[in-house]
Copies of this chain bind each other. A is one copy, B any other.
């Protein structure tokens, strides 16, 4: 049975369930930051996924990237599966701008997340649900 890790659950808001992944918004208003979590139990590394699921994973990463690019015209998309803190496999897909607080460095560990103000979170979620549904 798939269950979202409590740390991921606490740090994010739900956007959509895709064929493989649960698509989440990281609650950090400094970056447009999606997290894709394959809905498979006991998955830690990419190599824990069957090869067919690995192919779906990268297709869903590409789908998320394309949606962020179309909506936001970022300078780059950063994609990463790290998992040093949270063991459950999850893939960060982050729209990066030369004007963002961490550019050109990676976003992790730069500063504590800045949660969205509630109305801004709802607005961002509505936009992303439109783009990603």
Contacts and interface: CB of A to CB of B under 8 A. Distances in A.
A14 B103 CA distance: 29
28 contacts: A45-B65, A45-B69, A46-B58, A46-B79, A47-B66, A47-B69, A47-B77, A51-B62, A54-B58, A54-B59, A54-B62, A55-B59, A75-B84, A76-B82, A76-B83, A78-B80, A78-B81, A78-B82, A79-B82, A80-B80, A80-B82, A84-B96, A84-B105, A84-B106, A85-B104, A105-B108, A105-B109, A106-B108
A57 interface: yes
Interface residues of A, number: 32
**Chain A interface SS verdict (over half):** mixed
